[in-house]
Amino acid sequence: MHQRSLTEINLLTRAEFIGFIGPVFEHSPWIAGRTWPQRPFRSAEQLHRQLCETVGAAVPEEQLALIRAHPDLAGRLAQAGALTPESTQEQAGAGLDQLTAAELAWFQENNARYQAQFGFPFVICARLNKKEALINGFRLRLNHTREEEIKTALEEIFKIAELRLRDLIAD
């Protein structure tokens, strides 16, 4: 993985910035594009905060599109090897690439149940959780309201983005 210093990141053109920072948010380069004009960023934390504020300022339809851009956990994209490199690594780190047939069926059933209930995939920061925590997360969050889940999904996306951003920025 190619890292850059914050100084280098601040000097990137808009297109370069989108290409480098865009993958921090799953299939949503518009976030980096809208955040680029706020350069220079003084720290990785400030850059992360600005990116999250861009999401917070987006209209609800854009926020939902961001949530919907995330793959199901151990879903069909993972089974087909069609996840982004970041999602592949994150799901493998949580042990989702080593599920038994019964566990895989459980995840697929609950992905479908969650999707039917809320209209978007279950999003959780896989890098901060292992398989058991993911299962417990499903059980708990299926009892939430849609509004609570939108808020929770965005909070989880911000955690994912922070970790991905740390991977990109050289100290």
Name, in order, each residue with C-beta under 8 angstroms of 90's C-beta and a sequence gap of 6 or more. Answer: 125, 126, 127, 160
Q: At 1, is the pLDDT very low, low, confident or very high (cuts 50, 70, 90)?
A: low
- What angle separates helix 146-168 from helix 101-118, to the nearest 10 degrees? 120
CATH of domain 72-157: 1.10.3330.10
Q: pLDDT tens digit string along 43-58? A: 999 999 999 999 999 9
Determine the pLDDT at residue 82: 84
The answer to whether 70 is a known catalytic residue is yes
Which tops the pLDDT comparison, 2 or 24? 24
Q: pLDDT tens digit string along 126-165? A: 999 999 999 999 999 999 999 999 999 999 999 999 999 9
**Residue 75 pLDDT greater than 90, yes or no:** no
Would you give the DSSP letter of residue 169?
B
Could you tell me how many helices (H) and strands (E) the chain has, helices first?
10, 0
Of the candidates 2, 27, 70, 144, the residue annotated as catalytic is 70
- Taken as a whole, the chain contains a residue count of 171
Spell out the domain ranges in the chain.
6-65, 72-157
